[in-house]
Amino acid sequence: MTQPHSPASFATRAVHAGRDDLTELGVHVAPIDLSTTYPAADSAAEAMRMDEFAAGAQPAGSPIYARLHNPTVARFESALAELENAEASVAFASGMAAMTACLLAASQGNQKTHVVAVRPVYGGTDLLLNSGLLGTNVTWVDADKVAAAIQPDTGLVIVETPANPTLTELDLAQVAHACGDVPLLVDNTVATPVLQRPLEHGASIVLHSATKSLGGYGDVVGGIVACSETFARGLRSVRIATGGILHPLAGYMLLRGLATLPIRVRHASENAHELALRLQADERVAHVYYPGLNADRPGTNQMSGGGSLVSFETVDDAKDVVLGVNLITPAVSLGSVDTLIQHPASLTHHVVNSDDRAACGISDKLLRLSVGLEDVDDLWADLDQAL
């Protein structure tokens, strides 16, 4: 569980969340607990605590075994829950491990194996939902058809806004209303809690690929889900059974990343907005997708900035632009301090059926730019010569 929410500003909480007890401990930096096992001399007492862990609780005392609980990971969980204004959060070894756990927890014990989803979403999520690996079946709909698609066995509605890679935005309050009693899961990876907090707009569950902006430096893989304590218990039960817990070193690095998250996201957003304007004015670019370019858009009041992603369609072959950049790195992922560019139809969304890709706006001429913290004029010079 997270600590009671502080009245301090978001930037201040980002620095101090998960670190409230460091002065009491006599340290300045959060410690890393790398233990895989812990002393458990009183077998009878530990058996009772094992039952609590298995039920998804977080009992005080020894973690017993690292797959059940880790104090360093718990610090990151507490901090992210505070920043998303959630009761709890649960961290996983990757964003896809987090999504898998959400699907399993939503259907656990109630046979609610149907999912309603709105494209586009991250390509890995699309693949997982369509694969049937977890016994789920999915109905893909436009956002205004969510209510009509819900069935008695629907356990989740899944959306991503802004969506990867088209940056399509959804009005979360409207979607949440359409969901009724069905939990709404929002992938908030692109916006981050700096720019958007979906629970404040009616969502039940918020998922992040922590690999992206939360980590921020391209050197850690992780996933995390912010939600109610009730749903968190289901997630922890799944995590214990499947072994998907975040490594403590990753938990430490992600907690460290949160301290600079507001500064990084806001500066990257400024760069992205400026690049979007320049791309929009360039005759070599057919179309630009960026939330800040359209004042009359769904969910305008949800986000306090446009974010660090810009997507655009080229007039000529988009792949030639990827081949032509020098300063910008041709690579998947997003949210790093350095700028990345990739061709979604070939990489992140190649796993999506070509007809489905086209239907949700992922054309062969679409490029996705994850804007970093470099000087914006240097970034534009590289894009200009590549175009």
Residues annotated as catalytic (active site), given as ranges: 67, 122, 187, 212
What is the CB neighbour count within 10 angstroms for residue 211?
Answer: 24
Identify which of 147, 74, 133 has the alpha carbon closest to the alpha carbon of residue 104.
Answer: 133
Pairing of strands 366-370, 340-342: antiparallel
Matching residue, tokens 């070509």: 354
Contact yes or no for 108/234 (Cβ under 8 A): yes
Query: What CA–CA distances, in Å, run from 267 to 18, 173, 373?
Result: 24, 28, 7
**Strands of the sheet with 366-370, listed across from one edge:** 285-289, 309-314, 366-370, 340-342, 329-330
Contact 58, 236 (CB under 8 A): yes
**How many residues belong to the chain?**
387
Q: Does the bond joining 162 to the residue before it have cis omega, within 30 degrees of 0?
A: yes
- Answer for the pair 248, 33: CB distance below 8 angstroms, yes or no: yes
DSSP secondary structure of 237-265: HHHHHHT-BPPHHHHHHHHHHHHHHHHHH
60 CB burial (10 A radius; 0-12, 13-18, 19+)? exposed
Would you tell me how many other CB atoms lie within 10 Å of the CB of residue 133? 11
Count of CA atoms in the C-beta half-sphere (13 A) of 30: 29
Show the tokens assigned to 330: 């041709």
Strand order in the sheet with 223-227: 88-92, 223-227, 205-209, 184-187, 154-160, 114-117, 137-140
DSSP string, 66-135: TTT--HHHHHHHHHHHHHTT-SEEEEESSHHHHHHHHHHHHHTTT---EEEE-S---HHHHHHHHH-TTS
Identify the three-state secondary structure at position 114.
strand
